Amino acid sequence: MRIDVVSIFPDYLAPLDLSLIGKARRDGLIELQVHDLRAFTHDRHRTVDDTPYGGGAGMVMKPEPWAEALDHVAAQTDSRPTLIIPGPGGQRLDQALARELARRDHLVFACGRYEGIDERVYDYAARDFDVRIVSLGDYVLNGGEVAALAVIEAVARLVPGVIGNADSLVEESHEDGLLEYPVYTKPEHWQGRSVPEVLLSGDHGRIAAWRHEQRLQRTAARRPDLLPRAAAAGAEQLAIAV
Ligand SMILES: COC(=O)c1cc2cc(CO)sc2[nH]1
């Protein structure tokens, strides 16, 4: 998978050099390049924003640098990339969307700042990209970089080989609609609290059943809104939880 990110704060994406994503880049599983939008300006002040037509507070990102940046990125592959523009009004990121995006060959992230990007860029980009506006949720951030980091992590970890042990992708929260079960490690007794004895029993059938029950109970307690989707996804024995 190839990922390009365009931002006026390229250093915001530095965490992508770390941990599993960094290793995936070094292993060649993911090719990731971050571009400074200001590299696509030509004036002395490297201007990327200007005042909004119609008045109002703040500044708007100019269309020309974005068009040059997107043309530059589109020219680097012959497949039609998916352009993800993080924004509060977009499609809410969930595990299903992460899985869908993980199947794409080339993701490009356009990180807005200020009051946003000139609207004509969205239309311009549709020539060479499948344009998707993606939201993390209904709250305000100052720009798209934090959202891009979240989407990239959620997607990249689904790319085969990025997470060493693919088993750990199976019983995760939201994979089948249920939250994850509680986990424990040594010491067996800590601060007057002990590990549930079933986990020490060595009875893998009993352990699996207990863990599934815990997932049902946790989902019913913390996210009952997920239960209908889990039922549809076939998380059996839902009757116990509801
Ligand atoms: C200029 O602001 C942005 O580009 C911007 C991107 C995002 C993503 C959010 C959370 O879904 S809020 C927000 N603002």
Give pLDDT, residue 212.
96
Q: Which of 85, 140, 152 to mutate to test the pocket of ligand 1 (most atoms within 8 A of CB)?
A: 140
Query: How much of the chain, in percent, has pLDDT values that exceed 90?
Result: 84
65 lines ligand 1 (CB under 6 A): no
> How would you label 172-202 residue by residue, b for 16+ Cβ within 10 Å and e otherwise?
ebbeebbbebeeeeeeeeeeeeeeeeebeee
The reported pLDDT for the residue numbered 235 is: 64
Q: Which atom, in ligand 1's list, is nearest to the CA of 111?
A: 4
Q: What is the pLDDT of residues 145-159, one digit of tens each?
A: 999 999 999 999 999
In terms of Cβ atoms closer than 10 Å to its own Cβ (0-12, 13-18, 19+), residue 54 is exposed
Within the chain, how many helices (H) and strands (E) appear? 8, 9
Nearest CA residue ID for atom 8, ligand 1:
87
With a 6 A CB cut-off, is 147 part of the ligand 1 pocket?
A: yes
Side-chain half-sphere exposure of 98, counting CA atoms within 13 A: 20
What does the domain layout of the chain look like in residue ranges? 2-156, 171-241
pLDDT tens, position by position, 49-82: 999 999 999 999 999 999 999 999 999 988 999 9
Whether the CB of 177 sits within 6 Å of ligand 1: no
Segment 27-35 mean pLDDT = 96
- Pocket probe for ligand 1: among 62, 83, 141, the residue whose CB has the most ligand atoms within 8 Å is 141
Looking at the chain, the whole-number percentage of residues with pLDDT higher than 70 is: 95
CA 12 to chain centre: 15
Query: The domain 2-156 is classified under which CATH number: 3.40.50.2020, 3.20.20.70, 3.30.930.10, 3.40.1280.10?
Result: 3.40.1280.10
Question: Does ligand 1 have an atom closer than 6 angstroms to the CB of 135?
Answer: yes
Q: Please, which residues have CB within 8 angstroms of residue 64's CB and are 6 or more apart in sequence?
A: 40, 41
| Mean pLDDT in residue range 31-47 | 98
User: pLDDT, tens digit, for every residue of 230-242?
Assistant: 888 776 556 554 4
**Is the pLDDT at 168 greater than 80, yes or no?**
no
Domain 171-241: give its CATH superfamily. tRNA(m1g37)methyltransferase, domain 2 (1.10.1270.20)
Q: What is the ipTM of this complex?
A: 0.91
Task: Answer yes or no: is the C-beta of 88 below 6 A from any ligand 1 atom.
Answer: yes
